[in-house]
Amino acid sequence: MSTAPLIHVVDDDASMRNALLRLLDAAGFDARGYASAGEFLLHPLPDRVGCLLLDLRLPGPSGLELQSALQEQGIELPVVFLSGHGSVESGVKAMKDGAVDFLTKPVKRELLLDAIGRALDLCLAQRSSRTQAMQLQARFASLTDRQRDIFDRIVAGRLNKQIADDLGIAERTVKREREQLMLKLDAKSAAELGRLAEMRARTKTP
């Protein structure tokens, strides 16, 4: 059962929250309810596919504030906003900050489930790219310092001879290290190495 996505519902209105939980449950999701941003943050976030169904106005920190707090902490959990009285500004801000959708109550089931579906897709995508990045990171971690220097120069477009000159080692040694390096990174060509470098650079910066 743990395979079912987990939807976090944050709404201070108990009646609304219960209705949403009931609907999500009937739609085949696992759903958990929280009355405030604080309550949500107090609960450990299980490592599962899921999303956050967030009311805009909450007692204490608002939905928008929770959204940015999660981003700051690097917690990637797609957010669908569900507001009783959404204003244009808050909607724009939410979307800019990466919300999947901005819905208003009362919300049609199709719209809600569609938004949740997209959020879960996003979650899955995020999770897989995160997995890739982690694998990549692990592969890079297995490189020796020399191999890392050689990799950087290959990616920069240097030839073996030039690398050997740069590093003050024999060209033959460069060739050997290069073969080992490509094995470790599971790359078959220099072009593939370039792509890996790009991916690494992207996942590293944030």
Partner 1 sequence: MRLAIPDKWQLILLAALGLVLGCVPSPLRAAEAEARVLMLYGLDPYIPTFLAMDQALREDLARNGTKRTQVFAEALDSQRFPLDTLEPDLAALLATKYRALQIDVVVAVSRTALDFYQRHGAQLWPGSRLVYVGFLGYEFKPAALPEGASSVLSILDVAGTIDIARKMQPDARRIVVVSGSSEIDTRTQQQARDAFEERPAKVPVDYIAGATLAEILARLAKEPSSSIVIYLTQFRDREGTPYEPFEVLRAVIAGSPAPVYGAAEPFVGLGIVAGSVSSYESKGRLIGEQVRRAIAGQQPDASHRMLQAPNRCVADSRALRRWSLDKKRLPEDCEIRFEEVPVWRQYWQEIFVTLGVVAAQAALIVALIYQRRRRVMAERAEQAQRAELAHVGRLAVAGELTGAIAHEINQPLGAILSNADAGDLLLDSGTDQRDKLRAILADIRRDDLRASEVIRRLRELLGKHHFEQETFDLNQVVAELEAIIRAEAKRRGVRLEFKREPDALPVIGDRIQVQQVLLNLVLNAMDAVQDQSDDRREVSVATTKSKRRAVLAVRDRGPGIPPQNLPLVFDSFFSTKTEGMGLGLSISRTIVEAHGGRLSVDKTGSEGTTFRAELPLANHKAGLQSSPT
46 binds partner 1 (CB under 8 A): no
Q: Is 60 helix (H, G, I), strand (E, B) or coil?
A: coil
Candidates 80, 107, 187, 197: give the one binding partner 1 (CB under 8 A): 107
Taking CB under 8 A as the rule, does residue 26 contact partner 1?
yes
- In this chain, which of 46, 48, 84, 170 binds partner 1, going by CB under 8 A? 84
Give the interface segment with partner 1, choosing from 17-25, 131-139, 152-160, 177-185 (CB under 8 A). 17-25
* Residue 84, SS3 per DSSP: coil
Cis upstream peptide for 59 (omega within 30°): no
First-last CA distance in the chain: 33
| Residue range at the interface with partner 1 (CB under 8 A); choices 101-109, 145-153, 167-175, 187-195 | 101-109
Closest to 11 (Cα-Cα) out of 36, 29, 32: 36
Q: Which of 57, 93, 118, 146 binds partner 1 (CB under 8 A)?
A: 57
Residues pairing with 53 in the sheet: 9, 80
Contact criterion met (CB below 8 Å) for 120 and 50: yes
- Among 32, 38, 76, 105, contact with partner 1 (rule: CB under 8 A): 105
Amino acid at 114: D
Q: For residue 186, state whether it binds partner 1 (rule: CB under 8 A).
A: no
Q: Which helix (H) or strand (E) holds 140?
A: helix 109-141
User: Two tokens at 31?
Assistant: 């759903």
* Residue 69 touches partner 1, criterion: CB under 8 A: no
Residue 51 touching partner 1 (CB under 8 A): no
Q: Which residues bind partner 1 (CB under 8 A)?
A: 12-13, 15-16, 18-20, 22-23, 25-27, 57-59, 62, 82, 84-85, 87, 104-109, 112
